[in-house]
Amino acid sequence: MRIIIFSWEYPPRIVGRLAYYVSELATKLANSGLKMHVVTYHDSLIGDFEEASGVKVHRVTNPVKTHINLLTWTITLNQEIERITANIYYRENGQIDLIDVHEWQFIPAAVTIKRAFEIPFIYSIESIEDHRSGGANNPMNIAIKSIEQLGVLEADIIIVKSEWMKNEVKTIYGVSTGKIKVANLEERNGLKAILDVYRSLKGEGTQK
Amino acid sequence: MKPSPRIMMFTWEFPPRIIGGISPHVYNLSKELAENGAEVYVITCDFPGAPAHEKVDDVEVFRVDSYKNPAPDFASWVYLMNMNMQKEAASIIRDLGGVDILHAHDWLVAAATIGLKHVFRKPLIATIHSTEVGRRGGIYSDYERMIHETEAWLTYEAWRLICCSNYMLIHVREFFNLPADKMVMIPNGVNTGEYDMYLKENLREFRNKFASSEEKIVLFVGRLVYEKGAQVLIRAAPKILEKVNARIIIVGNGYMKEQLLALAESMGVAHKVTFTGFLDEESLKKLQVCADVAVVPSLYEPFGIVALEAMAAKSPVVVSDTGGLSEIVEHDVTGVKIRPNDPESLAWGVTRILLDNGYADWIRENAYRKVKEAYNWSRIAQQTKEIYIKVLEEYSRTFWA
């Protein structure tokens, strides 16, 4: 399987815990024999490509430097995410099995790529705007929430880390629980659970 | 090179959604391109009552839901709209089995088209209708700088840039440091046929709704924003009214409306100035035909389509000697040029036409002939198609092809 992970943070760019989580996930998946690409952002010149522990990391910067808010920043950056992903897609002759998008930032790119190339995507949710902003009730938070809503709607599968979050996503976004899987790398058999989701999406079924 | 290239146009406005000049531009260009043997698809924003998908004069139009996402401000709305536009376009392109050229109109669709260019690996052509530097008279805030940088990004990513006047071409080239061979000037156009029917019609009854038969009509059409200069016309009103019994009609809406009303009041000319707000297309065209003089007092005007429309409506024009207007109008031949932002000069130009019928008729006929020859859409579409073909030839020699 060839997988691309989208994450807006990845070491050495560390905003929160997501960077560590995603790098551990990518490394473990690579060790399990998957061909792993990570597409991420970095704002300083640390190189646009790096291969470490079997993971190919592609980094882009924002083509528009000045921004008025996180939303505009995110959308222009998404075009670069699409460019790099398309480059991988063409180089690999279209052999990409799925995209695993962590958090909402690169949902727009995942949706476009899915529609253009018919590559399924997983939306991996760590947190949601309702919780982060205490109810998403100003235009900015509503706009971010609407991107999450788009992700929930367009994703083939949603991965959350707990039964509690599964219930929250189901209630807040009105999505059927059948589409939401609970899998957490930090828990027992977490890697296997994630691999099972990947395989189910690829149609390989669950491996014993 | 295929006999009929498949062109996908991106525009934030397309009839019936009309905000500025891009809407009629894309409408006419698309229509004529389709008639000249191109397959044309238009991706645009939705509009109440307009279908999500329809065929208009052989052009396939797709209207994308763009108001679903609330946004904190206009620019944020634009970027969110780009996200929605892009995802719909990605599906449409896939369903079509691909397109040959992506054609963007202004920064308003930059993000959507740049992403699609790389995803589908097709050449992107951009028409730059105006720039943030020009609209604002400089860059003074992060908001404006963001838009300016987005424009720069679009000019960087585009294979070719089209500007509608030499003035605009030089301006874009200098502000974004672009190589000359990346740029091409193709003028804007106007469809004289759309006015010919009204020129033959007896419009007296229609005219009476706006002005008495003793009043000459001085017409302004445009968004009521600073750079369009309606305030200059109102300041000139007392000087015009000193010499001619006239009715000044201001068509359009914009953030300056209240200010302009107050200005007319304080100049003591409110009783002679009519604000019509936004007019439907038929009424607007009829009014342009009825006008005794059309004034385009812009402080910044990349092209000046409203001057061409007046010329097609056989209304003599008075224009600021600036930007694209300077190129369209030849002083004393196809119109009268005045000093920008100068009410005195404007009043002089207007009264010169209103007080001399022979002169007005001379200007009228010359202007009409000029518009028909140089600014007809069929010719413009032909020039545009030549650019498409040239770009596709260049593209065919790259590894993307």
How far is residue A195 CA from its own chain's centroid?
15
Nearest CA in chain B to A70: B76
| ipTM (interface pTM) | 0.96
Cβ of residue A27 closer than 8 Å to a chain B Cβ: no
With vertex at residue A114, the alpha carbon angle to CA B50 and CA A46, rounded to the nearest 5 degrees, is 120
Kindly report, residue by residue over B274-294, the tens digit of the pLDDT.
999 999 989 999 999 999 999
CA A119, CA A102: separation in Å to the nearest integer? 16
Q: What is the largest CA-CA distance in chain A?
A: 51
Nearest CA in chain A to B82: A75
CA B308, CA B313: separation in Å to the nearest integer? 9
Kindly give, in sequence order, each residue whose CB lies less than 8 Å from that of residue A88, ignoring residues fewer than 6 positions away.
A4, A37, A39, A58, A96
Question: Residue A203 pLDDT more than 70?
Answer: no
Kindly report, residue by residue over B67-121, the tens digit of the pLDDT.
877 788 999 999 999 999 999 999 999 999 999 999 999 999 999 999 999 999 9
Q: How far A111 CA sits from the closest chain B CA (Å)?
A: 6
Question: Residue B383 pLDDT more than 80?
Answer: yes
Q: Tell me the sheet residues that pair with A99.
A: A4, A121
Nearest CA in chain A to B139: A66
- Structure tokens of A42? 């970095």
pLDDT value at residue A207: 46
| CATH pick for B6-189+376-396 out of 3.40.47.10, 1.20.1250.20, 3.40.50.300, 3.40.50.2000 | 3.40.50.2000
With vertex at residue A60, the alpha carbon angle to CA A58 and CA A62, rounded to the nearest 5 degrees, is 165
Fold agreement between B6-189+376-396 and B193-374: yes
Long-range contacts of A184-187 (CB under 8 A, 24+ apart): A185/A21, A185/A24, A185/A25, A185/A28, A186/A21, A186/A161
Instruction: List chain B domain ranges.
Output: 6-189+376-396, 193-374
Mark yes or no for CB contact A118/B94 under 8 Å: yes
Question: Residue A208 pLDDT more than 50?
Answer: no
Go through the domains of chain A in sequence order and give each one's CATH number: 2-151 (3.40.50.2000)
Which is the CATH superfamily of the domain at B193-374?
Glycogen Phosphorylase B; (3.40.50.2000)
